[in-house]
Amino acid sequence: MILPLTIASVVVADQALKVLVRNVGTLQPAEGQLWVHRIRPSRAPTLWLWTVAAGLLLSASLWLSGAQVFVGLLLGGSLSNTAEASVRGSVTDFVRLGFWPAFNLADVALTVGAAGMAIELVRAIGDGRL
């Protein structure tokens, strides 16, 4: 149950913040494209690629029971950016630190999810589960 809840929470929170940022007017969001849209502008490869990656991550979550939240963060962040890019043609980034490229909540979820998955993999190898 934690996996779908995590995915939904990331998507809803990220999209709500992006709508708020675009409509408030005081912040200057950056609009960017997903890397796959730069290679091939069609939306079909993006959705296909997300589906394949989601299947692999869901398979990994069956083997790494402690990785449910991290898989949820990865799937939620990637789904949020993919859905936005497919509908709007770009992704809204709104956090600007000055010394780092602009990013959004989905990017944070992706980073935390990837780091957590790496830690879970190292633990599983160390414990002999893999």
What ranges do the domains of the chain cover? 2-19+34-126
Average pLDDT of span 15-28: 83
State the pTM of this model: 0.84
Q: What is the pLDDT of residue 39?
A: 54
Encode pLDDT of 31-58 as tens digits: 766 655 555 556 667 778 889 999 999 9
* Mean pLDDT confidence for 79-84: 90
Residue 92 bridge partners (DSSP): 31
Contacts (Cβ under 8 Å, ≥6 apart) of 37 = 43, 46, 85, 89
Marked catalytic residue, from 107, 110, 113, 117: 107
Please say if 93 is a catalytic residue: yes
The CA distance from 130 to 126, in Å, is 8
Please pick, among 93, 104, 106, 120, the residue that the annotation labels catalytic: 93
The answer to whether 14 is a known catalytic residue is: no
Q: Name the helix (H) or strand (E) containing 93.
A: strand 91-93
Asked if residues 61 and 73 have their Cβ atoms less than 8 Å apart, the reply is no
Higher pLDDT, 35 or 79: 79
Q: What is the phi-psi region of residue 89: left when phi exceeds 0, alpha when psi lies from -120 to 50, beta otherwise? A: left
- The count of C-alpha atoms lying within 13 angstroms of the C-alpha of 50, restricted to the half-sphere facing its C-beta, is 22
| 3-state helix, strand and coil shares in percent for the chain, rounded to the nearest 5 | 70, 5, 20
